[in-house]
Amino acid sequence: MVLQLGEIAAQIGAQLQGDPDVEVEDIAPLHRATAQQLSFLSSSKFADHLQSTAAIAVILHPDQQAHFSGNCLLMADPYLGYARAAALFHPFEQKQQGIHPSATVDPTATIAADAWIGPQSVVMANVEIEPSVYIGPGCVVASGSKVGRNSRLMGNVSLMEDTVVGESCIIHAGAVLGSDGFGFANDGGKWIKIPQLGRVVVGDRVEIGANTTIDRGALEDTLIGDGVKLDNLVHIAHNVQVGEDCAMAAMVGVAGSTKIAPNCTFGGQAGVVGHLEIVAGTHCTARTLVTHSIHKAGVYSSATTADENRKWRRNSVQFKKLNESVQRLRRVEQKIKQLDEREEDE
């Protein structure tokens, strides 16, 4: 694909400093961009590459313009510009339409004429597939489910009964939406399964990573808001509500009935215990364990960083004695306070 620089600037919301008629073929990093490619500078630590890059134009912050003599696309957030430009050069093109001969489609399912049902996929009773939907190979769309316009199931995705996926979503390979939540009652030491009667309802513009699982609700629905981004290997338990534009990195786990407000982020391996409420604008760094509701927006952390093994083992022993040490310190402080008061009386 070839685009003119002026067109790119208009599409990504950048201020053009240079020749709008320059033709650009693709986007690439500064260090390997060619004279036909656009590049970007999102971190000042790579600013030295501006002097040596062969890129025909660069997306950069206005503060960096003086360091590059070529065509510039100026933006307050060059990384956002890169994301928008990359999408221009590499749009998803659904060339296939119809139903592959090896797919199985129930006669009660409603399939838009321009949708694609890939090889070995199964579409069950009363499913609704809206226009421009892409169902990749080996997918299962169980009875009563709905997939919204322009959404994509990339391959081996399972949507269990009555799952709803909104418009313009991307669900990557191996994801499972609508499997039973972990619901059991104990009867004298034996576990009795609780039927999971809710659904999974996914909003618009949601992206769900490979092998991520989202459980159906026990009685109410599990809800994933518009614009949510879930990385690979994320687990969302039953009845969880994830607000609009939240993002979770790989291996995040959210236990049942937790309510997460919009615009929250969770670093890799963060965990949230069940029945909590997390306020909008909360950001949890990698491996943070959230055990109490968060009512004040901000950045939260709880993981310890790596250290030399011998030092870590010594510190671990001391950590187990932390409460005892605190209590001893309080007793010492109380005695000091008593001595000071006695001296003042004398």
- 258 and 340 belong to one structural domain: no
- 295 and 238 belong to one structural domain: yes
Confidence of residue 82 (pLDDT cuts 50, 70, 90): very high
Exposed e or buried b per residue across 95-129, where buried means at least 16 C-beta atoms within 10 angstroms of its C-beta: eeeebbeebebeeebebeeebbbbebbbbbeebbb
Query: What percent of the chain clears pLDDT 90, i.e. is strictly above it?
Result: 86
| CATH code of the domain in which 9 resides | 3.40.1390.10
Distance CA 12, CA 1 (A): 16
Residues 326-337: what's their mean pLDDT?
A: 91
Residues 241-259: what's their mean pLDDT?
A: 98
Exposed e or buried b per residue across 62-93, where buried means at least 16 C-beta atoms within 10 angstroms of its C-beta: eebeeebebbbbbbeebebbbebbbebbeeee
Closest to 3 in 3D by CA, of 19, 23, 18, 21: 23
Among residues 62, 89, 116, which one ends one of the domains? 89
Q: Catalytic: 90? A: no
Q: How far is CA 74 from CA 39, 87, 286, in A?
A: 12, 18, 32
Instruction: Give the CA angle between residues 97, 160, 147 to the nearest 5°.
Output: 35
Give residue 339's pLDDT: 84
pLDDT tens digits for range 224-240: 999 999 999 999 999 99
Cβ 273 vs Cβ 288: under 8 Å: no
110-111 and 128-129 beta bridge pairing: parallel
Residues 261-289: what's their mean pLDDT?
A: 97
Cβ 42 vs Cβ 78: under 8 Å: yes
pLDDT tens digits for range 19-28: 999 999 999 9
- 72 and 146 belong to one structural domain: no
Give residue 346's pLDDT: 66
pLDDT tens digits for range 92-109: 887 889 999 999 999 999
Confidence of residue 33 (pLDDT cuts 50, 70, 90): very high
pLDDT tens digits for range 34-53: 999 999 998 888 888 899 99
Distance CA 264, CA 255 (A): 16
Residues 303-318: what's their mean pLDDT?
A: 86
Quote the domain boundaries for residue 124.
98-300
- 118 and 23 belong to one structural domain: no
- 43 and 106 belong to one structural domain: no
- 64 and 133 belong to one structural domain: no
**Which residues have CB under 8 Å from 305's CB, separation 6+?**
none
Give residue 1's pLDDT: 85
- 315 and 220 belong to one structural domain: no
Would you say residue 307 has pLDDT above 70? yes
Give residue 121's pLDDT: 98
Terminal C-alpha separation, the chain? 90
- 10 and 145 belong to one structural domain: no
Burial class of residue 304, CB neighbours in 10 A (0-12, 13-18, 19+): exposed
pLDDT tens digits for range 107-163: 999 999 999 999 999 999 999 999 999 999 999 999 999 999 999 999 999 999 999
- 143 and 197 belong to one structural domain: yes
Residues 80-100: what's their mean pLDDT?
A: 93
Catalytic residue from among 90, 172, 238, 283: 238
Mean pLDDT (the chain, rounded): 95
Closest to 170 in 3D by CA, of 143, 199, 132, 220: 132
Closest to 145 in 3D by CA, of 132, 131, 128: 128
- 67 and 200 belong to one structural domain: no
- 177 and 315 belong to one structural domain: no
Give residue 341's pLDDT: 79
Report the domain count for the chain. Answer: 3
Residues 240-256: what's their mean pLDDT?
A: 98
Give residue 145's pLDDT: 98
Residues 247-267: what's their mean pLDDT?
A: 98
